[in-house]
Amino acid sequence: MFPAETTGRRSMLKLAQRMTDNFCAGVCASTVHKWNKLNAGNVDEDVRVMTRKSVDDPGEPPGIVLSAATSVWLPVSPQRLFDFLRDERLRSEWDILSNGGPMQEMAHIAKGQDHGNCVSLLRASAMNANQSSMLILQETCIDAAGSLVVYAPVDIPAMHVVMNGGDSAYVALLPSGFAIVPDGPGSLGAPAANGGPTANNNGNGGGPERVSGSLLTVAFQILVNSLPTAKLTVESVETVNNLISCTVQKIKAALQCES
């Protein structure tokens, strides 16, 4: 299923760029979309939940879209966190869409010399003969300022069209993912317990230990009802809130971070 022709690769890269742009617009709650902030009592204090209506956009499924995002600090280096989240073999440790097993990379397009900058097409393993394998489009980007891991479930027939060079503008997707940034220039390496140095504010040994880490933003965009005129239910908000909280806990457990 690899896009052998240049037109197929170009179409797949164009779709991935739109996916990542939509993810960033959703996380930032920018003026790209009209958002209505939700102040629900059943939402964790550190989770922001917003809703919007998707109408007449061929690049998105129509209906009520719910976006949930939260940011947490983790005592893990940005590179280690990025490598963990983008590895399809480890995806089952945090992603409920993985069906509990590793994913297979069906296609890979490099976007530069750094192997962390790429677009991939992943397939989840079917648990039984009656369950169809799902495809996930993923784009990963990294530089000195931070990194992104963005993904979205995609329709199999639509991806066949894209990989044969077809128009990607009509592939409907709702991206979710992660943004990772270093916790600041004060990060002076791993804690001494992990074999790293200790340092004070002047960078000299003997002072208070400074643990390096990452600020991780986790964001989901989910279609909760296919009718734009439908009313948002409390159950939908609770489901998305639980999903984001569960994902954060799974990441912490996999990386052996304290809760």
- Asked if 100 and 120 touch (Cβ cutoff 8 Å), the reply is no
Which one, of 109, 115, 89, 150, lies nearest residue 3 by Cα? 109
Q: H helices within 94-175, ranges in order?
A: 156-163
Q: In the chain, how long is the greatest CA-to-CA distance? A: 62
Q: 234: number of CA atoms within 13 Å, CB side?
A: 3
Confidence class for position 218, pLDDT limits 50, 70, 90: very high
- Asked if 71 and 180 touch (Cβ cutoff 8 Å), the reply is no
Confidence (pTM): 0.83
- DSSP letter for 243, please: H
> What is the C-alpha to C-alpha distance for residues 120 and 118, in angstroms, rounded to an integer?
7
Higher-scoring residue by pLDDT: 240, 253: 253
- Asked if 103 and 88 touch (Cβ cutoff 8 Å), the reply is yes
Confidence class for position 200, pLDDT limits 50, 70, 90: very low
Provide mean pLDDT across the span 200-209.
46
CA 15 to chain centre: 16
Residues 135-168: pLDDT tens digits?
899 999 998 889 999 999 998 888 888 888 888 8
Alpha carbon of 250 to those of 6, 9, 69, 77, 200: distances in Å? 38, 33, 16, 17, 32
Residues 31-60: pLDDT tens digits?
665 566 666 666 677 888 888 887 777 778
The pLDDT value given to residue 204: 45
Higher-scoring residue by pLDDT: 250, 3: 250
- DSSP letter for 249, please: H
Higher-scoring residue by pLDDT: 4, 218: 218
**What Rg, from alpha-carbon coordinates, does the chain have?**
20
Q: Which of 3-7, 43-47, 85-89, 140-144 has the lowest mean pLDDT?
A: 3-7
Strand partners of residue 73: 215
